[in-house]
C-alpha cells in the first residue's frame, strides 16, 4: 500500500513539474528554435542545390570517345557525360517493345553532350550502357567554345590562313596564338562599335531631333547642324573603314578538326572564344580554367538566345533597378508613416488608411504591373513626351516601358512594407523623448528630423531590407514595365546624361524565366538556370546583409544615446 502511494505521489509530482515547465514557456522556445533551424536548413539546402547544379557547369569535364550501336547502326561520337540514371527493365521494355536482346534488371543510361550541333546534331542524346561498344578518354581531344552553335569537340588536324594550310611544329601552340590574336581584334572592334560609333550615332540622333524641334518652331535654319552632321559622318566613315579592315583580319584564319567518325569540320577562328584539352589538363589547370569560365559568365553578354555566354547586362540591370527602387521607396514610405503617426489625428479615417496599406501588401504583383503600365508608362510617360520630347514623336521616349517606370512600379509594390515597419519604429520611441526635445525649444519639425527619425532609422532599414528582398525577385510586373529578353545597350554609358532612365533593361529573374522555359535547347540551358538563380539569391543576401549591418550599428548607437 505504501509503495502504491509513493508511485502515485511521484506521478503527481511529475505532472506538476510538466505543467510548470509548460507554463514557463520553454516549449515555445524550443519549438521556435526548431522552426528557425528548419528554415536555415531549407535556405542552406536551396543554396547548396543551386550551387551544385549551377557551378559544376563551369568545370572542364572530360570528353569521351564513344562508339555505340543502335538499330544495327554503329556511330562514333565525342561527348561529355552530363547525367547518369538507372531505369528498370519494365520501363525500358515499355519504351522499346521491339527490343529483342536480353535486358538486365536495371538499365543504366547516359545523357551525352556531343556538341557539334551544326555538323552532327543533336548536341544532347541519351545512350544505354548496353549499346556502348567502346568508350575511351583520348588526351588530345579539343573542346571549342564558339560564339554560336554551342560547343564543338574534335581533334585539331590543321590551321588555314586565307584558305591555305600552314605548317607549324607546335600546332596547338599556333592555334592558341591565333585565338588570342583574334580575341584582341574582336575587342578592338567592340570598343570601336560601343565607343566611337555608338557616340557618333547618339550625336547624329540628337542633331536629327534638334532639326525636328526647329521645324516645329518654324525655324528652318540648319546650317550649323548640317556642318556638324557632315563632320560626324566623316568621322563615322573613318571608323567604319577601321572596323571593316579589322573584320577582314578577323576572318582570315580557320581551324580544321576531325570528328569522331572521321569527318573534317572547318571552324573560323573568329567564331572561337577559347579552346582547351580537358583530358590532358592537370587539376590546377582545370581550376584556373574554371575560375576563368566563371568570370566570363559574370562579365560577358549573353549569346545564342541567352543559352550561352554571360549574364552581365542582367546582373547590372538587376542591381541598378534595386538601388533606384530603394532610393524611391524609402522617402515615400517614411513620409507616409510620419504623417500617419506624427501628424494625422488618430481616428476611424486614419485606421481605415492603415487597413488599406496592409491590404496593399497582399495585392498580386501583376496588378501593380498593369497599373504601372497604364499610369506610369502611358499617362505620365506619354505626358512627358508631349511636353518635353515632341520632336521625337511618334516614337516614344518616356512613353514606353523603361528603367524608371520599373523602379517606380516596384517602389509602389513595396511601399506598404516600408510604411508599416517605419510606423512601428516610430511607435516604440518613448513619448518623453519628443516632449524633452520640445521642452528644450526645438520645433516639431526639428524634433522629428533630428531626434525621432534617427532613432527610428533601424526600423526604416528593416522595411528597406524586406522591400529589397521582395523587389529583387519580382518578375511578373517587370515584364510589363521595362524588362526585355535582350537589351542592346546598358542604361549607363558615356553619352550625356549618362544614366538613361528611359531605356529598357535586363533582369536576372526574367532571365531565369526566359532561359528555363523559353529556351529551344533545354538540356544546354539547365545549368545556366541554376547558376543564374544562385547569383540572384546571393545578390539578395549581400544587399540584405549590408542593410542589416548598417541597422545593427544604428541600433547600438541610439541604444547608447538613450541609456
Q: Are 370 and 401 in contact (CB under 8 A)?
A: no
CB 256 within 8 A of CB 157: yes
Per-residue model confidence (pLDDT) at position 560: 46
Strand (E) positions, 177-299? 253-258, 264-268, 272-276
Distance, in Å, from the CA atom of 356 to the CA atom of 372, rounded to the nearest integer, reads 19
Question: What's the rounded Cα separation, in Å, for the pair 441 and 283?
Answer: 72
CA 510, 515, 519, 522 torsion: positive or negative? negative
* pLDDT 10s digits, 279-335: 989 999 999 999 999 999 999 988 887 888 889 999 999 989 999 999 999 898 999
For strand 124-128 and strand 164-165, is the pairing parallel, antiparallel, or unpaired?
A: unpaired
435 CB neighbour count, 10 Å cutoff? 11
The residues, ordered by sequence, that sit 6+ positions from 264 with a Cβ below 8 Å of its Cβ are: 157, 256, 257, 258
pLDDT tens, position by position, for the chain (563 residues)? 556 666 676 767 677 777 777 777 777 888 888 898 999 899 889 899 888 888 888 989 899 999 888 777 888 989 888 888 888 777 777 667 766 666 677 888 888 888 888 787 888 888 888 888 888 999 889 999 998 888 899 999 989 888 888 887 888 999 999 999 999 999 999 999 888 899 899 999 999 988 888 888 888 788 888 899 999 999 999 999 999 999 888 888 899 999 988 888 889 999 999 999 999 899 999 999 999 999 999 999 888 878 888 899 999 999 899 999 999 998 989 999 988 888 888 888 888 888 888 888 888 889 999 999 999 999 999 999 999 998 888 889 899 999 999 999 999 999 998 998 888 888 888 888 888 888 888 888 888 888 888 888 888 888 888 888 888 888 889 999 989 988 878 898 888 888 999 999 999 989 988 888 877 777 788 888 899 999 988 888 887 788 788 778 877 776 645 44
Burial of 268 (0-12, 13-18, 19+ CB in 10 A): middle
Closest CA to 479 of 394, 380, 372: 372
Contact present, 220 and 235 (Cβ < 8 Å): no
pLDDT for position 3: 63
Q: Directed axis angle between helix 453-473 and helix 403-428, to 10°?
A: 140
- At 211-250, the pLDDT tens digits run 888 888 888 788 888 899 999 999 999 999 999 999 888 8
Q: What pairs with residue 155 in β-bridges?
A: 141, 258
pLDDT at residue number 406:
94
> What is the per-residue DSSP string for 340-366?
IIIISPPSHHHHHHHHHHHHHTTS-HH
The answer to whether the peptide bond before residue 398 is cis (omega within 30 degrees of 0) is no
392, 207 in Cβ contact below 8 A?
A: no
The predicted pLDDT at position 23 comes to 73
Given a contact cutoff of 8 angstroms between Cβ atoms, the answer to whether 89 and 107 are in contact is yes
**Is this model's pTM higher than 0.95 or not?**
no
Amino acid at each position: 500500500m505504501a509503495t502504491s502511494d509513493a508511485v502515485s505521489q511521484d506521478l503527481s509530482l511529475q505532472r506538476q513539474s510538466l505543467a510548470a515547465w509548460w507554463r514557463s514557456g520553454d516549449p515555445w522556445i524550443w519549438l521556435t528554435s526548431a522552426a528557425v533551424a528548419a528554415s536555415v536548413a531549407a535556405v542552406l539546402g536551396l543554396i547548396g542545390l543551386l550551387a551544385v547544379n549551377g557551378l559544376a557547369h563551369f568545370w572542364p569535364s572530360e570528353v569521351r570517345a564513344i562508339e555505340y550501336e543502335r538499330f544495327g547502326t554503329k556511330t562514333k561520337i565525342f561527348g561529355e557525360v552530363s547525367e547518369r540514371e538507372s531505369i528498370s527493365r519494365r520501363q525500358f521494355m515499355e519504351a522499346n517493345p521491339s527490343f529483342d536482346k536480353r535486358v538486365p534488371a536495371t538499365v543504366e543510361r547516359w545523357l551525352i553532350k556531343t556538341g557539334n550541333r551544326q555538323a552532327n546534331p543533336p548536341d544532347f542524346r541519351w545512350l544505354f550502357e548496353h549499346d556502348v561498344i567502346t568508350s575511351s578518354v583520348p588526351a588530345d581531344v579539343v573542346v571549342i567554345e564558339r560564339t554560336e552553335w554551342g560547343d564543338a569537340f574534335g581533334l585539331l588536324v590543321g590551321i588555314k590562313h586565307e584558305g591555305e594550310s600552314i605548317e607549324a611544329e607546335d600546332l596547338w601552340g599556333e592555334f592558341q596564338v591565333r585565338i588570342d590574336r583574334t580575341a584582341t581584334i574582336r575587342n578592338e572592334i567592340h570598343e570601336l562599335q560601343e565607343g566611337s560609333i555608338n557616340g557618333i550615332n547618339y550625336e547624329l540622333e540628337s542633331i536629327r531631333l534638334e532639326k525636328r524641334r526647329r521645324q516645329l518652331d518654324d525655324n528652318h535654319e540648319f546650317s550649323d547642324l548640317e556642318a556638324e552632321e557632315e563632320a560626324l559622318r566623316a568621322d563615322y566613315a573613318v571608323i567604319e573603314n577601321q572596323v571593316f579592315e579589322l573584320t577582314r583580319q578577323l576572318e582570315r584564319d580557320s581551324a580544321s578538326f576531325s570528328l569522331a567518325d572521321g569527318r573534317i569540320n572547318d571552324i573560323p577562328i573568329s567564331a572561337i572564344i577559347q579552346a582547351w584539352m580537358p583530358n590532358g589538363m592537370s587539376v590546377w589547370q582545370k581550376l584556373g580554367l574554371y575560375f576563368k569560365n566563371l568570370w566570363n559568365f559574370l562579365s560577358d553578354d549573353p549569346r545564342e538566345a541567352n543559352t550561352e555566354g554571360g549574364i552581365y547586362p542582367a546582373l547590372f540591370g538587376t542591381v541598378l533597378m534595386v538601388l533606384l527602387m530603394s532610393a524611391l521607396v524609402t522617402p515615400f514610405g517614411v513620409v507616409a508613416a510620419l504623417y500617419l503617426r506624427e501628424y494625422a489625428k488618430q481616428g476611424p479615417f486614419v485606421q481605415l488608411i492603415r487597413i488599406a496599406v496592409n491590404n496593399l501588401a497582399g495585392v498580386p504583383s501583376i496588378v501593380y504591373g498593369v497599373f504601372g503600365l497604364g499610369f506610369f508608362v502611358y499617362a505620365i510617360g506619354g505626358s512627358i513626351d508631349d511636353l518635353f520630347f515632341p520632336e521625337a514623336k511618334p516614337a516614344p521616349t518616356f512613353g514606353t516601358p523603361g528603367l524608371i517606370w520599373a523602379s517606380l512600379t516596384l517602389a509602389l509594390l513595396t511601399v506598404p512594407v516600408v510604411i508599416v515597419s517605419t510606423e512601428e519604429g516610430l511607435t516604440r520611441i518613448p513619448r518623453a523623448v519628443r516632449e524633452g526635445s520640445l521642452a528644450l525649444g526645438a520645433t516639431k519639425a526639428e524634433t522629428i528630423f533630428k531626434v525621432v527619425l534617427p532613432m527610428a532609422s533601424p526600423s526604416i532599414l528593416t522595411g528597406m531590407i524586406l522591400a529589397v528582398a521582395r523587389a529583387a525577385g519580382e518578375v511578373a510586373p517587370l515584364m510589363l514595365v521595362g524588362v526585355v529578353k535582350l537589351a542592346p545597350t546598358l542604361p549607363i554609358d558615356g553619352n550625356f546624361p549618362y544614366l538613361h532612365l528611359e531605356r529598357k533593361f535586363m533582369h536576372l529573374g526574367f532571365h531565369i524565366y526566359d532561359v528555363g522555359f523559353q529556351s529551344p535547347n533545354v538540356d544546354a540551358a539547365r545549368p545556366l538556370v541554376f547558376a543564374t538563380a544562385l547569383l540572384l539569391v546571393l545578390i539578395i543576401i549581400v544587399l540584405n546583409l549590408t542593410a542589416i549591418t548598417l541597422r545593427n550599428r544604428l541600433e547600438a548607437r541610439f541604444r547608447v544615446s538613450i541609456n
